[in-house]
Amino acid sequence: MDLFSLQPGCGCAKPTDAFSPESKTVQGIAGSLGVSPAQVLDIIRCRAHSDQRMAADASAGTAINGMAHDELRVTSNEMLVQNLFSPNGPDEAFRTWEEWYARKTKSA
C-alpha cells in the first residue's frame, strides 16, 4: 500500500487516499499520541517537507555551512521532535525549523 506519492509539479510527498484521517493507521497513531488524525497528517507533512528540503540541499551541495551533515540532521530532528507537538501546531514548528535551517545553511 502506497501511503505517499509525488505529484507532477510538486517535489513534496502527498498522502494517498490510503493515508487519510479516516484510515485505521492514522487513527491508531492519533489515539496513541493523544492528538487528532488531522494533526497526525500535519505533523507528517511538516516532517516530510523538512526531510525533503535537507535531502535536496545535500544533493545540490548547499546544505552545509559549518556543520557536518550528520550534526545538522541530528539537530534538525531534535528541533522537530520538540516543536511538532507544541500547542501552536506543526505549521508553527515548521516555520521555526525553516528559520533555523536558513541560518545554518547557505540556502534560504
User: What pLDDT, on the 0 to 100 scale, is given for residue 88?
Assistant: 85
Number of domains within the chain: 1
Maximum Cα–Cα distance across the chain: 44
CB 63 within 8 A of CB 26: no
Helix (H) or strand (E) holding 5: strand 4-7
pLDDT in tens, the chain (108 residues): 676 777 677 666 677 777 788 888 889 999 998 999 999 888 888 888 888 888 777 776 665 655 667 788 888 888 888 888 888 888 888 999 999 888 887 644
User: What pLDDT, on the 0 to 100 scale, is given for residue 68?
Assistant: 66
Question: Which domain does 66 fall in, by range?
Answer: 4-104
- Cα(63)–Cα(75) distance, integer angstroms: 13
Structural Rg of the chain based on CA atoms: 15
